[in-house]
Amino acid sequence: MSVNGKVLDERQCFVRLDVTDQWYGSGSRKGTESIRVEHIGSQEPISKKDGDYFKKESLPGSIKRSKRVSLLKAIDCDAMSQDNDKLLAGLEL
């Protein structure tokens, strides 16, 4: 697909960042070592799961012990191949 002569990438690329241990773990771990990363690339609309949030300001103040909480972040599809440390370094968390 192109608009005004520019080719548009129809893919949607996101990372689902499980921040449960970082935000709600004992001792409130700082840094990114406790974040689990799931890469999501698709030409279909992204499916939002229960416990997914788009902004850290939307994260609940507390969660039940059995729940997981994730931030969904849109990324450039070319960044999908980056290792997790490099990818996380480029994201605002």
83 occurs within a structural domain: no
51 occurs within a structural domain: yes
pLDDT at 1 over 50: no
State pLDDT tens for residues 59-74: 999 999 889 999 999 8
Whole-prediction pTM: 0.75
Domain total of the chain? 1
Instruction: State how far the alpha carbon of 71 is from the alpha carbons of 1, 3, 5, 8, 37, in Å.
Output: 29, 31, 34, 25, 10
Supply the range of the domain harboring residue 26. 10-77
- The pLDDT assigned to 67 comes to 92
State pLDDT tens for residues 8-61: 557 788 899 999 988 887 655 556 677 888 888 877 777 888 999 999 999 999
